[in-house]
Structure 1
């Protein structure tokens, strides 16, 4: 098979598998693939995106899988270009997203020789991506297809694939009988529902289940239900659950980001059931897991009996909510105080992306609760702060009024991401960066108190950078906000707006001191 024939075969196979979007990082080795893709785009068979940097491209493609629910391929040249995809592939693995790494390679005879652009590409993603015959791909997670090509090729004819029916993906097998029984027994021990990130189609079934059970709920913003569940939501779940651990926890959706979920590792007396489409229990200890699309599993439960608040969490809810409001009013220019004001503006957007991990935790605790914010996404954080802006831009590429909230180091980690702005919708797009001068999330680690000053510096990565020049470089409008009144000038428009929020360091420190000592 010639290089041209191999390239045609590869792209046509992808199309037959239902892959319709391709993120292209072009190079000499994958030029034949790029040529076929250009023809497929002209024929209306594919949608193409382009970028010069594979790491950003991988996360953008991950964002596209979030937006469409369908597979998206990243097409790279050979060598370490392939390795740049690892963070996005790992993230896709733990999110169970159908990201395809379509990587061009030199023929096998070059492997292990040290020849230019020749590394061992097969198996490079380890357990985090399936590989081999793409016909075996069930599109429930990432896949790696490594295509060996000679560099020289002569373009020939390309014929679009016929409308062969895609192989139907069998639904996962699961039973909810044991869970249904568990939800009815020993309710005196106290049942709490913890809701992580949800797919949009799962929100309504989860909402009705929580209301039906009538139990306290620890809900993440990425569920899209934080505001909708209202009074049954715990305002400070980590603290409240740590002070009085429940006997039973039902986790629905993604793995929660809060501290109490980690505390469950050391609470074996608390029984845990999970309903998750990814199949990951999220704990190393014993627990039960149903792997299924969340909505399907909940519908299988049918009507549930009201369980109520056996441990009297609701009595403490209003008092704790009032304490939080008092602290936000006392320190309006602290990071949490400014985030509360910002959340009122962001709630007017069509969607919200939260970058790991301080913005997620602060939004869950301090954002406004009066107006529903239902379309919220985040990466689960296996990759830390890598690729967050690129994921946001991929997820919202076709969407107006898209908002994103990240920290300063997260933005610095993905400085090339705005290169996508020329290919996507920019109207009403707002990128908010909370610039607190480094990785301040680590400043709240108790272990930091016992560390040397130099070690603390290494942990925090302090800096004095400002982002106005970055905005100018990529054609973004810029607004600097240092107080509550600064948000008055926030006006989204036709161009992307970068809002750099600089909290008052002294007020932030005072807020967190009050937060840690509150009882």
Structure 2
């Protein structure tokens, strides 16, 4: 039998509290970048049941992999690091999660609070390390009172775990499946709002397939032209959805150049097109954002309103005049595949090779923009994910 020292018992208590809190928040996957300071937590996780561990040598990769898992399953995922600059490596993914509204849980092991400001090894200022890109930091230390959250919100959560030495790895685990959080709260009632009775079009991006399922019948009822990015997940035939083919247009600048609208209804994320950015200088064009994100996507405030996603169901009651869409001139269309070996030709070839029902991850901003031009004609049921929060 291994003797447990007093400080080790205190670590055991807060580690067990951490694991129980993660389980109650619905975390069932944790991306681990191992180090000496987080070794006791890893040991407890290895003794646990009902949780999947993903192992990484490098923290940045671990965090972006966690984002991919969140996008795929729409469930919170945690990433666990050791102390010092290892924690700082998470910042790029935290920024992305912030702007996509993803429940990324950051667990950073730390030295006790008394080492802060000392310049001691592996002691940086980890509390509130991620600034405005994460919610209030939960700074956990033995003897400090703390109320653990029971659910995640639509933004990153930082848990900074201060562990005393010795860092004993003789730690018990828990059964994650035995700890259930409260049921999700009922969604709030849709707000009262008005849409301007102006020639309108829809710009859609950054919708999960489930969100696109909810949006498709509303869009069909409204009958407006819909400029949809690949990540809107509205392209192709989907079971149990109305056919939107007659309404859909690619959300690239060539197609948008033919749009004459006085009101834009944005669904989901912030569009990637230059046309959207140019709306900053077009206050005559009204913009209504309907999104689970709080961001308007524009700095101007005149004629811009931002509504929560719960407003989606009320959109169908509006019968707005449709904006005029002119087809781009022939010289603005991409040349046939056999006439070029450029990037757009590669994108068209890739799009044509994607099988029905596939899941595609668009890795960065250029492929995202280029796929927006080639997504028409995609096979049925193909879903697209991307890191689009920071809209690079």
Could you tell me the TM-score, scaled by structure 2's length? 0.85
Q: 1:335 to 1:210 in 2, by over 3 A?
A: same
**Which of the numbers 205, 216, 220 marks the counterpart of 1:211?**
220
Q: CA deviation at 1:76?
A: 0.6
Deviations 1:441-491 (A, max 9, x none): xxxxxxxxxxxxxxxxxxxxxxxxxxxxxxxxxxxxxxxxxxxxxxxxxxx
Q: 1:193 to 1:239 in 2, by over 3 A?
A: same
Moved over 6 A (4+): none
Q: CA deviation at 1:279?
A: 1.6
Partner of 1:202: 211
1:145 and 2:153 are equivalent in the alignment: no
Q: CA deviation at 1:240?
A: 4.9
Q: CA deviation at 1:380?
A: 0.9
Q: CA deviation at 1:112?
A: 1.1
1:103 and 2:108 are equivalent in the alignment: yes
* Superposed CA RMSD: 2.5
Runs of 5+ in structure 1 lacking a partner?
A: 385-519
Q: CA deviation at 1:381?
A: 4.9
Equivalent-residue separation in structure 2 for 1:326 and 1:221 (angstroms)? 17
1:126 and 2:135 are equivalent in the alignment: no
Query: SS at the partner of 1:117?
Result: coil
Aligned length in residues: 366
Q: 1:192 to 1:27 in 2, by over 3 A?
A: same
Q: CA deviation at 1:239?
A: 4.0
Could you tell me the TM-score, scaled by structure 1's length? 0.65
Runs of 5+ in structure 2 lacking a partner?
A: 1-8, 139-146, 238-243
Q: 1:285 to 1:245 in 2, by over 3 A?
A: farther
Equivalent-residue separation in structure 2 for 1:60 and 1:342 (angstroms)? 23
Return 356-365 or 345-354, whichever deviates more: 345-354
Equivalent-residue separation in structure 2 for 1:13 and 1:244 (angstroms)? 50
Q: CA deviation at 1:9?
A: 2.2
Deviations 1:298-352 (A, max 9, x none): 22445443x45343x1xx33x64x6566623563312212221221102446111
Deviations 1:395-437 (A, max 9, x none): xxxxxxxxxxxxxxxxxxxxxxxxxxxxxxxxxxxxxxxxxxx
Superposed, 1:243-322 pairs within 5 Å as 245-286=260-301, 287-292=304-309, 296-305=310-319, 307-311=320-324, 313=325, 316-317=326-327, 320=329
**Which of the numbers 223, 228, 236 marks the counterpart of 2:232?**
223
Superposed, 1:474-513 pairs within 5 Å as none
Query: SS at the partner of 1:141?
Result: coil
Equivalent-residue separation in structure 2 for 1:258 and 1:373 (angstroms)? 24
Q: CA deviation at 1:153?
A: 3.7
Q: CA deviation at 1:4?
A: 2.4
Deviations 1:205-247 (A, max 9, x none): 3222222222221110001113453232234652454465411
Superposed, 1:80-99 pairs within 5 Å as 80-99=85-104
Superposed, 1:352-363 pairs within 5 Å as 352-363=360-371
